[in-house]
Chain A
Amino acid sequence: MQRVPLVDYLVLDDEPHLVAAECTGCGARYFDRRSACASCGELDFRSADVPTEGELTTFTIVQFAAEGVEVPFVAGVVDCGGTSVKGNVVNTPPDPEHVTLGMRVRLTTVPVGTDAAGTEAVGYGFEPVP
């Protein structure tokens, strides 16, 4: 089956990982398309693989969201070897007993859905490291 990543910065190979656009001037990293570096104004970027394991530095458990968004879910930020990454915490119950500040998590893929052509979209999340 054909697969597409949910976002450009997710790479779906044998070992799925995230790739950032890294400023060649100051090393600042971005996940969205930028015209210039917001830190130093440099125009050139190179791609940099982001470590797939990190520490959960903050989270919330969302119980109310816009129509069509499934709740509850855990949204958080993961410090992946110095790069902050936004993502959901998955594969664990969404409650404060199972999700804690500072916990170790690792990247995993999450199915998003399949379109009319049979192409599967794949997203990412972070799951607890056992």
Chain B
Amino acid sequence: MAENVWILGISMTRFGKHRDKDTLDLGSEAAIGAMRDAGVGIGDIGVLAAGNLIGGNGFGQLLQKQIGQTGIPVYNVANACATGATALRVVVMAIKSGEVDTGMAVGVEKLSGAGLLTGNARREEGGHWVRDGRYGAVAPLDGRIGTETMPGVFAQIGMEYAHRYGGADFELFARISEKNHAHSTLNPMAAYQKRLTLDEIMNDVMIAYPNTRPMCSANCDGAAAAVLVSETKLRTLSLEQQRRAVKISASVLTSDPWTDGCQVLPDINTLTRRAAATAYEQAGVGPGDLDLVELHDCFATAELVHYDNLGLCEPGGAVDFFRSGAPWRDGSTPVNVSGGLQSKGHPVSATGIANVWEVATHLRGEAGDRQIEGARVGLAHVIGLGSACGVHVLEKAAA
């Protein structure tokens, strides 16, 4: 039986616009914060997994020059929006393998003002048609054969669910966004903390129907980091460290298995369902045991399908689940009490660790005004398009 792995320390920077801090400042702040929270120093860290997509190559080594060059192995990881969760998973695997007893995962991104994340701008056309790429295309396909914009891709994913099961329309998707923006008002770490009315959300700028601007994740700057230890190591530490430690009951990463539909529109459902099923089995808990869930609401249309994918409702029952009030913070399964990516923000590589921070903070009873009382078990989920899905189930330490 492999070792259990625990979160000893975890930290995130505030998400938002950090004009005076670069990628390394933000990464350092999160890493040093996580080590302080854990009560360890850089000399205790046996492995570092580092994620950053925009800043260029070798981010982990550049970060070491800021927080301590101890010669430990660095894994620079990249898995789209699941990069942070992948970094965490690398450290979990390293500890489970028995190679190290303590490791750190860091994710950071500077995305303020990045605008729409999409395909390439079209170059000037002219000259002669030349067939290019694996479709033999003579011109860029974005906008000519479907869309490559993220809001458009995820809009179709939500509309596909609406077509299959009925009951979901523009207003329902907007109400999901209304919930997350309402939740954000209690989260001082969120990039936006403004409560928006349903009318304000529906009448805002349309990006890709049915997603208006506030229904899209917010590009912003931020970082998050976590220090993990083996259970054997944890038992040698102080009672206070043991009391605040959070157990990683499941750590799962999946990619797309082949499905017919995913050849033309990404299928974010199948790999999430598989990751969730594996995670529940590993943790020995079911969806009904979850006191809170942070799921990947990169767009309001995505949140709906993940209620179903994570088994929070009966198959096909996501609309009824939402309408029952279940995912509101006072409901039976609070979802995205942080405000979610739509208001907390989505600095891509930080996201998969920051959502673990949110769940861990509630399990520790340290979430302040937005604390979910008595939280004992929670789940954090991310999707990176392509695709990669990370699911972590966390449990409070036994008293």
Residues of A within 8 A of B (CB): 4-9, 28-34, 38-39, 57-71, 73, 75-77, 83-88, 96, 101-102, 110, 112-113, 115-117, 119, 121, 123-124
Contact = CB atoms under 8 A, between A and B. Distances in A.
A57 B139 CA distance: 26
Contacts of A96: 170, 209-210
Nearest to B144: A123
A64 B263 contact: no
Nearest to A114: B129
B151 interface: yes
Given A31-B264, A76-B156, A67 B122 contact: yes
Interface in B224-262: 258, 260-261
A63 B209 contact: yes
Interface in B152-202: 152-153, 155-157, 159-160, 162-163, 170
Contacts of B143: 62, 65-66, 69-71, 73, 75, 88
Interface string B101-130: 000000000000000101111110111110
Interface residues of B, number: 53
A63 B211 CA distance: 10
Contacts of B121: 66-68
Nearest to B123: A68
Given A66-B122, A76-B146, A59 B159 contact: yes
Contacts of A87: 145-146
Given A33-B134, A67-B122, A58 B265 contact: yes
Contact of B163 (A57, A86, A112, A116): A57
A32 B127 CA distance: 25
A64 B208 contact: yes
A88 B143 CA distance: 8
Interface in B128-144: 128-129, 131, 133-139, 141-144
Contact of B129 (A4, A38, A77, A85): A4
A75 B135 contact: no
Contacts of A60: 147, 151-153, 155-156, 159, 208-211
B149 interface: yes
Contacts of B136: 7-9, 33
